[in-house]
Structure 1
């Protein structure tokens, strides 16, 4: 597994829009995210040609979006890449990626939601990628989120203190305030106390494996394509899944999980981590937990696979960074999730 070089304050970070053209529609929140990227994390910002392109032009030109990614990996003056926001059809850019060049020039690349397509694909080809906040969703709000979020970003990205024990954030939110209202730009909606952290639904042994996953709905776009992993890939993986703002029902999530079972994946993996489901009521969360265990344990007999729910990543905030290809340990006795080694080369 090829790891990127560590980024630091002063690194040149390229901004791409591989999915939606929301920076064009909401320039103020986008620019706030760029400002925070520079002021809080100390990065030098490089906007790629498609970063502010209109939604219509982006939709019509998947190759231009892929070209931006190719150029980022080819340019020795660019140290890393972060997506502006998600979307719904970045799967269309995959045929245009220069994967041989990318894998031979590994760099930090981070996004979430629709970025799942190229993050998982590049990881399957042998490179560590990063599932975490985007410019408009996460980084633009950084000064209004718990300070532990900033500490987490700096710990994962800048320090070399591993193993790294993940910690749940004390507060979390489902949504942001109106991006058209400059008076509340970067503010979040109601915060909820995170009293219990995440929960292990099952697991009776300490397991170690390699992270892989993303938005569970986006992964559906990739199944049965040439960009889906082969059978041997799933050995020793810790899968992580989260749901989008479209809020699939607990039953729909169950349908998606059942497909992984039918592929024989649950017999090969070392664990499953589910993100906090956005906009779910407590009743819906309990139903999702019930269905998850029923599918994985009840239907496919994977009763020893640790299952963690309500992990702090995905479409709620703050978001933890999960490196695809990073080795983690799941401990159901102490409820700890530990990133065992650095996802970077020093």
Structure 2
């Protein structure tokens, strides 16, 4: 399958802020707009769905689709405000031909992986960073996130990415604006089965599971031959066995061994609103062990990399779905072209 990447941006180009999922709390959109303008010299346009009062919930699905269509037609890049849990209902209102004709670099993840998988089916590359939390949190934009976001905006490809030296899953306090607690990054863990190269498909574990359940927006299985599967967990802190269940389902569907590579994002293990409180090292090890077990069963020749810097922890690489990933354990490099 051939993928189209929207043209790289230049200084002064337009970024549309939309809410394909839900809007964000007051003030956070202002932070995102200010940082996009000051750090990247971009002109920000806010669309109605992003400016809604979050207390009223997301706009109707058709209205969210209309904002997506308008932003793609009017802007060089489109940035989702934040995630949520309702975007699946938007997809039936989208026009793939319109999005292909008016190509823009779309940025979002979590619930926005619904739209990104829709764009994948349309042959369009998209990127995994969004306004909140990635651009809004912390006193300043983290240098690691800023580096790769700048590449995703202004360069043809993301190129080689390196592990971050620090990470956090602590929540940012917008009231105090104080620094979060940061930890030494654990680095990446490899399951080496040789060099793997292919277009990236996947995203948030829950969204991939929803698409498997509905069956309405799945790609042609033949288009996944030689692809690289990417999965990451979210702030819901799913139990490690859930990762294995999704991979098992892909195996039983006959899909898992179509992938030449697997990328697993570093998992978030902290959520003060959750009744679960897993210990990070144990949690990531259990996810890795469960995923490896299913690979051994269904895809023994698939190379995998765990704890990669994408998803719901900080800092993050804007994982490009549809771009060609190369996993090379010989020199432990990961690149996206």
Tell me the TM-score normalised to structure 2 length: 0.91
Structure 1: any 5+ residue segments left out of the alignment? 342-346
Q: What SS does structure 1 have at the residue aligned with 2:134?
A: coil
Alignment correspondent of 1:267? 257
1:232 aligns with 2:230: no
Alignment correspondent of 1:12? 14
Deviation at 1:204, TM superposition (A): 2.7
Q: What SS does structure 1 have at the residue aligned with 2:201?
A: strand
CA offsets 1:280-309 (integer angstroms, 9 cap, x no match): 521121111111111111x21x22201110
Alignment correspondent of 1:216? 205
1:158 aligns with 2:154: yes
Deviation at 1:264, TM superposition (A): 1.1
User: Which of residues 189, 198, 210 in structure 1 aligns to 2:180?
Assistant: 189
Contact 1:176 1:188 in 2 (8 A): no
Deviation at 1:230, TM superposition (A): 2.2
Alignment correspondent of 1:344? none
Deviates more, 1:48-57 or 1:59-68: 48-57
User: Which of residues 302, 305, 317 in structure 2 aligns to 1:305?
Assistant: 302
CA offsets 1:216-244 (integer angstroms, 9 cap, x no match): 11222222332112221211211111111
Alignment correspondent of 2:295? 296
Q: What SS does structure 1 have at the residue aligned with 2:78?
A: strand
1:116 aligns with 2:118: no
Contact 2:135 2:141 in 1 (8 A): no
Deviation at 1:210, TM superposition (A): 0.7
User: Which of residues 134, 143, 168 in structure 2 aligns to 1:147?
Assistant: 143
Q: What SS does structure 2 have at the residue aligned with 1:165?
A: strand
Alignment correspondent of 2:76? 79
2:306 & 2:6 partners in 1: Cα distance?
29
Deviation at 1:142, TM superposition (A): 6.3
Compared with structure 1, are the counterparts of its residues 82 and 313 closer, same or farther at alpha carbon in structure 2 (3 Å cutoff)? same
Contact 1:173 1:188 in 2 (8 A): no
Compared with structure 1, are the counterparts of its residues 60 and 39 closer, same or farther at alpha carbon in structure 2 (3 Å cutoff)? closer
Structure 2: any 5+ residue segments left out of the alignment? 270-277
Deviation at 1:163, TM superposition (A): 7.7
Aligned residues: 325
Contact 1:29 1:136 in 2 (8 A): yes
User: Which of residues 171, 174, 178 in structure 1 aligns to 2:173?
Assistant: 178
2:141 & 2:70 partners in 1: Cα distance?
33
Tell me the TM-score normalised to structure 1 length: 0.89
Alignment correspondent of 2:241? 251
Alignment correspondent of 2:28? 29
Deviates more, 1:112-121 or 1:149-158: 149-158
User: Which of residues 156, 165, 168 in structure 1 aligns to 2:163?
Assistant: 168
Deviation at 1:146, TM superposition (A): 4.0
Alignment correspondent of 2:89? 92
Deviation at 1:272, TM superposition (A): 0.4
1:87 & 1:163 partners in 2: Cα distance?
26
1:163 & 1:19 partners in 2: Cα distance?
26
Contact 2:114 2:207 in 1 (8 A): yes
Compared with structure 1, are the counterparts of its residues 145 and 32 closer, same or farther at alpha carbon in structure 2 (3 Å cutoff)? closer
CA offsets 1:132-188 (integer angstroms, 9 cap, x no match): 2x112111136545423322222332235x682111111111033223x1x31xx55
Q: What SS does structure 1 have at the residue aligned with 2:40?
A: coil
